[in-house]
Amino acid sequence: MNKDIDKVLFTNEEIVKRCEELGAQITADYQGKQAPLLVALLRGSVPFLAELIKHIDLDIEYDFMDVTSYQGTQSLGDIKILKDLDTSIIGRPILLVEDIVDTGRTIDSVKELLKNKGASEVKVVTLLDKPSRRAVEVRPDYVGFSVANEFVVGFGMDYNQKYRCLPFVGVLKAECYR
Ligand code: IMP
């Protein structure tokens, strides 16, 4: 385990197992419907996207957007588009892939944006959900795990760009924030 991690919340095995379950549920829900375009938000959702797509048995495609303006442990309200989609989404169902939903502002804004661009439907799948931190009324359609109000890192999630490559999700030691 990384020396900066206080405790592991979800092991790699637990995450993979949950991705299998989410993949099966998504596969069943879109049966007989147009397969979704997965839109992954850079950079945190990349490991989750990579695991999840192995378990979705549909004719899916994926693309990336970069919208976050997250600094340290404070979630900023306004989002900036740093990288837009390369794919046309007019009339297509979208499944937005997030690493963690915290205040909900990011997915709320991006959902709105994608609907305005002509998506026929926008659903959200997130590895982690922190419902106690919600500032806007938005609920992800698929949630890997709910977490308490703790700052987590690993499996894509960072603190100042560090710890993204850890294969598990954990809580940082308090001294690492100072
Ligand atoms: P929201 O807009 O407040 O929901 O923030 C969502 C984004 O904030 C996520 O995609 C993460 O990049 C970041 N974030 C929120 N909570 C955490 C955390 O505990 N660890 C790492 N990143 C986080």
| 158 falls within a domain | no
DSSP 3-state of 154: strand
66 CB-contact burial (10 Å; exposed 0-12 / middle 13-18 / buried 19+) = middle
| 173 falls within a domain | no
* Chain mean pLDDT for the chain: 93
| 161 falls within a domain | no
- 3-state helix, strand and coil shares in percent for the chain, rounded to the nearest 5: 25, 30, 45
Is any atom of ligand 1 closer than 6 Å to the C-beta of 49?
no
| 78 falls within a domain | yes
| 55 falls within a domain | yes
- CATH of residue 80's domain is 3.40.50.2020
Which residues does residue 65 pair with via DSSP β-bridges, in sequence order?
41
Q: How far is the CA of 121 from the centre of ligand 1 (A)?
A: 23
Is any atom of ligand 1 closer than 6 Å to the C-beta of 25?
no
pLDDT band of 73, cuts 50, 70, 90 = very low
- pLDDT for residue 79: 72
Task: Provide the whole-model pTM.
Answer: 0.94
User: Is residue 78 annotated as part of the catalytic site, yes or no?
Assistant: no
Catalytic residue, chosen from 4, 59, 102, 141, is 102
| 96 falls within a domain | yes
* Dist CA 105 CA 74 (whole Å): 12
Mean pLDDT, residues 160-167: 96
Q: What 3 state SS string does 34-61 have? A: CCCEEEEECCCCHHHHHHHHHHCCCCCE
> pLDDT, tens digit, for every residue of 85-143?
999 999 999 999 999 999 999 999 999 999 999 999 999 999 999 999 999 999 999 99
- pLDDT for residue 72: 46
The counts of H helices and E strands in the chain are: 3, 8
Note down the domain range covering 23.
11-147
| 136 falls within a domain | yes
Ligand 1 atom nearest the C-alpha of 44 is 12
User: How many domains does the chain fold into?
Assistant: 1
Is any atom of ligand 1 closer than 6 Å to the C-beta of 154?
no
